[in-house]
Amino acid sequence: MSKLTLGAHPYLLGFEQLERLVERTAKSGNDGYPPYNIEQTSDHSYRITLAVAGFGEDELSITVEDSSLVIRGRQSEDDADRVYLHRGIARRQFQRSFVLADGVDVGEAFLQNGLLHVDLSRKVPESVVQTIQIRKGDKA
In the chain, the amino acid numbered 124 is: V
Measured at the CA of 111, the angle between CA 25 and CA 55, to 5 degrees, comes to 80
Residue 10 has pLDDT above 80, yes or no: no
pLDDT value of position 137: 79
**Does 25 share its domain with 39?**
no
Nearest to 52 by CA among 114, 109, 125: 114
Residue 136 lies in a domain: no
**Does 38 share its domain with 64?**
yes
- Domain CATH for 73: 2.60.40.790
**Does 7 share its domain with 37?**
no
Which is more confidently placed, 139 or 71? 71
Q: What are the start-end ranges of the E strands in 1-134?
A: 36-42, 45-51, 60-65, 68-73, 94-99, 104-112, 115-122
Residue 139 lies in a domain: no
Q: Structural domain of residue 10, as residue ranges?
A: 1-30
pLDDT value of position 71: 96
Helix (H, G, I), strand (E, B) or coil at 130: coil
Residue 114 lies in a domain: yes
**Other C-beta atoms lying within 10 Å of the C-beta of residue 52:** 22
pLDDT value of position 31: 72
Q: What is the pLDDT of residues 62-116, one digit of tens each?
A: 999 988 999 999 987 776 788 889 988 767 899 999 989 889 999 999 999 999 9
Nearest to 43 by CA among 109, 127, 108, 123: 123
